[in-house]
Amino acid sequence: MLSSTYSTAEPNVRTEVHGILYGTRTEPPRGHWVQITRVNLNRPCCVNITSGKWDEPRRDCKACEGLGFFPTLVYVRSRRSYLQGDEQAAAPQIFHIDKVRYYVEHNVFENEKQAELSRLYEIRLDSVGNIVRPIERLVGYNVQVATPFREDSGRIQYWAIDVEKIEV
């Protein structure tokens, strides 16, 4: 889906990703709504610095949900894909480990550290794809690897987020 309004030889990837996730005048959105618990790295919550090292955050902290920094809840559209992982042998069968990857826009995270300390939640949507209120978290994920895809100048075009399922 290339924008017909972009006049140079290179497509504007940010515009294309936005069009895929949120739709255009002629195309429906192909992304679905998710809740991201994005941490604020400037506002530590239940972590303490002792002897120059960070202590582990408390898992039972209600304010930060065990992330260690005060979070901000953001709702964005994302595109989910399932990646087939490595084969792992176990007697007597072979398991295929599936990995889940989400794609989100360039402005969702400030940097890799913030992305990797954040969480992503699938939320209940209605039959049309709109968010159902009150918000109900269905599936939760910790971010394992957050990869910013950049153009030649270094500007982030979009994020690919590999996640690991957690208890909600």
Q: Which pLDDT does position 67 carry in this prediction?
A: 86
Tokens describing residue 148 = 């910013």
pLDDT recorded at residue 68: 85
pLDDT of residue 157: 95
d(CA 24, CA 15): 10
Is the CA virtual torsion 66, 167, 138, 121 positive or negative? Answer: positive
Contact 101, 160 (CB under 8 A): yes
Over range 41-57, report the average pLDDT.
70
Tell me how far apart the alpha carbons of residues 2 and 124 are, in angstroms, rounded to a whole number: 31
Distance CA(107)–CA(105), nearest Å, equals 6
d(C-alpha 147, C-alpha 127), whole Å: 31
pLDDT at residue 96, rounded to an integer: 53
Is a pLDDT exceeding 50 seen at residue 6? Answer: no
As separate numbers, helices (DSSP H) first and strands (DSSP E) second, the chain gives: 2, 8
Each residue of 111-129: pLDDT tens digit? 999 999 999 999 999 999 9
N-term to C-term CA, the chain: 36
pLDDT in tens, 90-105: 555 555 556 899 999 9
User: Which range, of 7-16, 22-31, 140-149, averages the lowest pLDDT?
Assistant: 7-16
| Cα-trace Rg, the chain | 18
Nearest to 70 by CA among 62, 79, 78: 62
Residue 62 has pLDDT above 80, yes or no: yes
Q: Is 0.85 topped by the overall pTM?
A: no
